[in-house]
Chains A and B, each alone.
Chain A
Amino acid sequence: MADLFDRFESLRARRDGLVGDGGHDPFQVEMDEVLSQTEAMIGGRRTILAGTNNYLGLTFAPESLKAAHDALDAAGTGTTGSRVANGTYSGHKALEQALSSFLGKEHAIVFSTGYLANLSVLSTLVGPDDYILMDADCHASIYDGVRMGDAQIIRFKHNDAADLDKRLARLAKKPGNKLIVIEGIYSMLGDKAPLDEIVAVKKKYDDVYLLSDEAHSLGVLGRYGRGLPEEAGLEDDVDFIVGTFSKSVGTVGGFCVSNHPQFDLLRLACRPYIFTASLPPSVVASAKASLELVEKGGALRKRLMRNAERLHSGLTALGFTLGGDVSPVVAVVAPDVEIGVAFWRGLMDGGIYVNLALPPATPQNFTLLRCSLCAAHTTEQVDRIIEVFAEVADSLGILPKQSKKKTALG
């Protein structure tokens, strides 16, 4: 008799192959106790967290904690309803106003997660006669969002404005709107979009809109943390900005902002906005408080970048191959999945948590030991991360400097 779960057989085999032989399971890490933004007890060991996307370390910001506590006491543990029913409180509206004034766009909509923000916007903004032109390295939530909609989905080569240009040129004679979708900082390798080149291409054609997912760049780039568009001085050229509260804002939730006068109509069109419960008041309150800290967070951004540079140059000096330029995401490329898993376990045994990222969730089939830094990491913690990377590479016999073969992790 066929079992319902037979269809997962290859998944099971792959999982067992990766984690079957004991040791830490990369997909079942349990934080027994979170000690701070940068440390947790994992499996009885004090562990430095270097893979949390908690870029500014705001998860324990006193202002945000207080706002969350107050809202919890005042408005309860949850809204028990959709934004379009009983789930919009004054806090949700205040958060939308705060986003709108922070990002300088007329309209803002808050969703329950960034994933749902992408599903919502990408599945409804464009219709059957329209085209999505998305960067091939876009996040799974973008792939899922465009698949949920009816537009024609075209991928252009990662960060290749000339390839985008070619594809737009071929569509120029076709009616229908075109929506370019990019990310400010790409989540896996930490590389930035060439926004100036993409905007220049966009301006060559009619009926082209630009959406940027600033999940990893909000709070990180720009003097005031408004992301890549601010850093590049191109905020007016990005028509839609999607973002999340689950990274630099330190809580959970998603949003989209735009100047389009009819933007609010999306509230009546997006199923992942309508058919899910709204964020609880405490989350909404802490997101709003943290956004203020993001805007004022110049000093945090400096510390974050200093940490990023230190980790990037330390790992480069050891001979590791890194996925991109200096950014708060520092991705070490492992030669294959087996070494990647062994390396990740070695890091855990050494008290360092990073993300193990495997194909197909990674660009170019890379196996990645993906670190993300936090403004709250101390110099000593960053140095310890580098030290453990060196120790593990050494114990696996793949430290590029020592083995003459420059291929290992290099």
Chain B
Amino acid sequence: MSAEPSDGASQDVRAVVLEVLQTFNKTGVTLGDGTRFTEDLNFDSLLVMEFIAALEDRLDISVPLNVLPDVETVGQLVVATEQIVREEHG
């Protein structure tokens, strides 16, 4: 189901985050590090959960719910995700 993250650490996490996020992008804003989930993408808690589950599948990682309250922007999610990929596949 998920891409094989064989070279997890070197994989371009940002590209994957943006690619998965694009499938949830209903407002059509251009996605960048500064894009905000609530204000720019109109994400509610349900959509956040669905998006995170899709990202987990794609990268074969677990994103603890604990990181979510501190994540407002795409850039912040990329940083958090990179760290998880390093920890789980590094």
A157 to B49, CA, bound (A): 11
Which residues of chain A are near B6, meaning CB under 8 Å?
none
Which residues of chain B are near A166, meaning CB under 8 Å?
60
The reply to whether A154 and B44 contact each other, CB–CB distance below 8 Å, is no
With A359-B46, A360-B44, A360-B45 given, is the CB distance from A170 to B53 under 8 Å? no
The reply to whether A365 and B46 contact each other, CB–CB distance below 8 Å, is yes
Interface positions of B from 57 to 90, Cβ below 8 Å from A: 60-66, 88
The reply to whether A170 and B64 contact each other, CB–CB distance below 8 Å, is no
A146 to B68, CA, bound (A): 14
Chain A nearest CB from B50 CB (Å) reads: 9
A136 to B53, CA, bound (A): 10
Chain A nearest CB from B83 CB (Å) reads: 13
The reply to whether A153 and B64 contact each other, CB–CB distance below 8 Å, is yes
With A136-B53, A170-B88 given, is the CB distance from A154 to B62 under 8 Å? yes
Which residues of chain B are near A66, meaning CB under 8 Å?
none
Q: Which listed residue, A146, A147, A167, touches B62 by the CB 8 Å rule? A: A167
For the residues of A in contact with B, the DSSP-based class is mixed
Q: Which listed residue, A152, A157, A365, touches B64 by the CB 8 Å rule? A: A152
Interface positions of A from 318 to 359, Cβ below 8 Å from B: 359
Which residues of chain B are near A155, meaning CB under 8 Å?
49, 53, 65
Q: What 0/1 pattern do residues 236 to 250 of A give for CB contact below 8 A with B? A: 000000000000000
A155 to B54, CA, bound (A): 12
A146 to B61, CA, bound (A): 20
Write the chain A residue with the least CB distance to B63. A154
With A136-B53, A170-B88 given, is the CB distance from A147 to B65 under 8 Å? yes
Which residues of chain B are near A131, meaning CB under 8 Å?
64
Please tell me the size bucket of the interface on B. 10 to 19
Interface size on A, residues (CB 8 A): 16
Which residues of chain A are near B44, meaning CB under 8 Å?
360
Write the chain A residue with the least CB distance to B88. A170
A214 to B71, CA, bound (A): 34
A136 to B88, CA, bound (A): 21
Interface positions of A from 143 to 172, Cβ below 8 Å from B: 146-147, 152-155, 157, 166-167, 170-171
The reply to whether A154 and B60 contact each other, CB–CB distance below 8 Å, is no
Chain A nearest CB from B8 CB (Å) reads: 11
Chain B nearest CB from A344 CB (Å) reads: 21
Which residues of chain B are near A167, meaning CB under 8 Å?
62
Q: Which listed residue, B45, B49, B61, B66, touches A170 by the CB 8 Å rule? A: B61
A384 to B80, CA, bound (A): 55
Which residues of chain A are near B53, meaning CB under 8 Å?
136, 155, 157
Write the chain A residue with the least CB distance to B50. A365
Chain B nearest CB from A171 CB (Å) reads: 8
Which residues of chain A are near B60, meaning CB under 8 Å?
166
Chain B nearest CB from A364 CB (Å) reads: 10
A157 to B56, CA, bound (A): 11
A170 to B63, CA, bound (A): 12
Write the chain B residue with the least CB distance to A146. B65
Chain A nearest CB from B3 CB (Å) reads: 14
A153 to B64, CA, bound (A): 5
The reply to whether B66 and A152 contact each other, CB–CB distance below 8 Å, is yes
Which residues of chain B are near A154, meaning CB under 8 Å?
62-65
**In the A-B complex, the 7 residue pairs with the closest CB atoms:** A153-B65, A152-B64, A360-B46, A154-B62, A170-B88, A167-B62, A153-B64
26 contacts between A and B (CB under 8 A): A136-B49, A136-B53, A146-B65, A147-B65, A152-B64, A152-B66, A153-B64, A153-B65, A153-B66, A154-B63, A154-B64, A154-B65, A155-B49, A155-B53, A155-B65, A157-B53, A166-B60, A167-B62, A170-B61, A170-B62, A170-B88, A171-B62, A360-B44, A360-B45, A360-B46, A365-B46
List 6 other contacts, CB 8 Å, given A131-B64, A153-B64, A170-B61. Answer: A136-B49, A136-B53, A147-B65, A154-B63, A155-B53, A166-B60
